[in-house]
A and B are shown apart, each in its own frame.
Chain A
Amino acid sequence: MFELLGIPPQALFGQLLLGLINGSFYALLSLGLAVIFGLLNIINFSHGAQYMMGAFVAWMGLTYLGIPYWGALVIVPLAVGATGVLIERLMISRLYHLDHLYGLFLTFGLALIIQGLFRNSFGVSGLPYSIPPQLSGGQNLGFMFLPNYRAWVVLASLIVCFGTWFAIERTRLGAYLRAATENPTLVGAFGINVPRMITLTYGFGVALAAFAGVLAAPIYSVNPNMGADLIIVVFAVVVIGGMGSILGAILTGFGLGIVEGLTKVFYPEASSVAIFVIMAIVLLFKPAGLFGRTA
């Protein structure tokens, strides 16, 4: 049995895989935050709660309506995204002329309400959601055992992340979006309905969070607090990457997940604070973030 730096390869690759999985969620969530921030100029504090909603709605769909995992993967983001559209129309749209702080306060309040409601109805102990039969089992790669579902999570996250990147950076619709980020008034003057675009963008960001929630349901237990702590780590990811670039958000998300996984191998005590320490270092040497534009 060969060893790398005194670490057995099973442990090393196992933690690397866990890191990649965490990174998949960091990437999906920070991508959603970046897309929303780009156009709406608010930080969506309820992003974690909406991720949790994704997992819960998938669980409810399966338990009450018999909607299987693959259906949930499509329906749940649409449903939760629709609640996002409603929230944007009814509340967030009233705050655009105000300081960014108020968007943060509002979405924080919404997160508290959503988490509280789910805690009231389902308690804090997790609910089980089983892995779809097509993805149970795993592959023995020789140096490690790779569960199929975990491979799927990384793959699905990569596909959605790069799909989003492509849509925003390489299509006409994305060009409108980027233009509206720079100068909404001018884009409106060209006859494009900017307010509707803003609404749909928020809905899309929320749908991304819900998609991440459905992906997470079979590996993490479905509970009302699952998004609350995660979102703070994602904020740190966003500070490290800077929200100026879509690709930057994706790369930072995956990268930090892997770094966190490696910390678990080499210095487990520090793994929960590793990302925050990296944030401190980035703030010292590159305050605008790795991919950020100085604003």
Chain B
Amino acid sequence: MSVSTETAYSSAADAMPVGTPRHHIIIFTGLLVLLLIAPFVLYPVFIMKILCFALFASALNLLLGFGGLLSFGHAAFFGSASYVAAHAAKVWGLTPEVAILLGTLAAAFLGLIIGALAIRRQGIYFAMVTLAFAQMVFFLALQAPFTGGEDGIQAVPRGNLFGLLSLADDRTLYFVVLLIVFGGLLAIYRIIHSPFGQVLKAIRDNEARSISLGYKVNRYKLAVFVMSAALAGMAGATKALVFQLASLTDVYWSMSGEVVLMTLLGGMGTIFGPLVGAAVIVTMQNYFASFGAWVTILQGAIFVVSVLLFREGIVGVLARWLKKPL
């Protein structure tokens, strides 16, 4: 990526004072309270879907918004983790927490392989390489003996948490999913604000200077790629238990596009943007589900409008108005 080009990464998020800003604590707490009440007001499965995609988009945002690396193949991690978790829970009969852990590990391992190859190219090529490998994972999922081909893995049992607590009830499962997703989001927040995160932003903004300062840039890139893949995998594995299904949709390129759209719409390089983007897109899909291809057209239109008029995203614009990093 050349130095002279302009990006809309929220620069406000970079000028962070020492310690966690108070308004971040307030937002996280408010969000948690809202999400604790939500399943008693709204349909729990719907909110769980938003939560899983919020984590997925935040994982991509860690890579794209803070590492400056566009992966157009994140569905590979989301989907393969979802297959592994579904297989572990259904065929091996493992408990849900172990299934999710195995899915996450599988995604991290896949991220290590794809990441190590993809970071050998920069910018636009990086995006094409990740997309191409994700398509390869799609073909493997289509042909592999344990993925169920076009049918996917259906009727995945939700099982008993730690072998004790049954997750068959939507609301019980909801609080487990909330715990996982919120844990993931806080982990991402921690990574962004760690010294590691500062180096990442330095590489994003000026790779050549970071190299000359002595940072082993490729190690940082690979590390953040693996973290992002693992978190995306955690989201995918959780989603497999929520919907009791792992299917080809989860590994297809359109899924990679969707999560990029969520991040772009919410605001790349913001902390809360991907959450907002995920909520908007999932809600939209729900309302337009019966209109067939119009969902695709609408998603395309949001892409075009976001790029032409709205590059900072919803939360990016809010942050500029409030003059606070969000």
Contact = CB atoms under 8 A, between A and B. Distances in A.
Given A99-B6, A112-B296, A112-B300, A279 B307 contact: no
Contacts of A272: 139, 142-143
A15 B133 CA distance: 25
Contacts of B294: 116, 120
A228 B252 CA distance: 11
Interface residues of A, number: 46
B128 A236 contact: yes
Which label, helix, strand, loop or mixed, suits the secondary structure of the A interface?
helix
Interface in B1-49: 1, 5-7
Contact of B306 (A91, A105, A228, A295): A105
Interface residues of B, number: 46
Interface in A82-126: 91, 94-95, 97-102, 104-106, 108-117, 119-120
A98 B303 contact: no
B5 A97 contact: yes
Contacts of A279: 129, 132-133
A113 B304 contact: yes
Contacts of A112: 257, 296-297, 299-300, 303
B127 interface: yes
A284 interface: yes
Candidate in B120, B132, B304, B311 with the most chain A CB atoms within 10 angstroms: B132
Interface string A222-235: 00000011001101
A267 to B, nearest CB: 13
Residue of A111, A116, A269, A277 most packed against chain B (CB within 10 A):
A116
A114 B122 CA distance: 29
A283 interface: yes
A266 to B, nearest CB: 17
Contact of B70 (A101, A111, A117): A101
Contacts of A95: 307
Contacts of B320: none
Contacts of B260: 105, 108
Interface in B111-157: 117-118, 120-125, 127-129, 131-133, 135-136, 139-140, 142-143
B127 A43 contact: yes
B300 A280 contact: no
Contacts of B308: 91, 94, 106
Contact of A120 (B129, B264, B293, B301): B293
B253 interface: yes
Given A98-B6, A99-B6, A119-B296, A91 B117 contact: no
A9 interface: no
Nearest to B295: A116
A98 B4 CA distance: 9
B161 interface: no
Contacts of A42: 124
A106 to B, nearest CB: 4
A110 B296 CA distance: 10
A233 B140 CA distance: 15
A232 B143 contact: no
Across the A-B interface, the 8 shortest Cβ-Cβ residue pairs: A109-B303, A112-B300, A116-B297, A113-B300, A116-B296, A276-B136, A287-B120, A236-B132
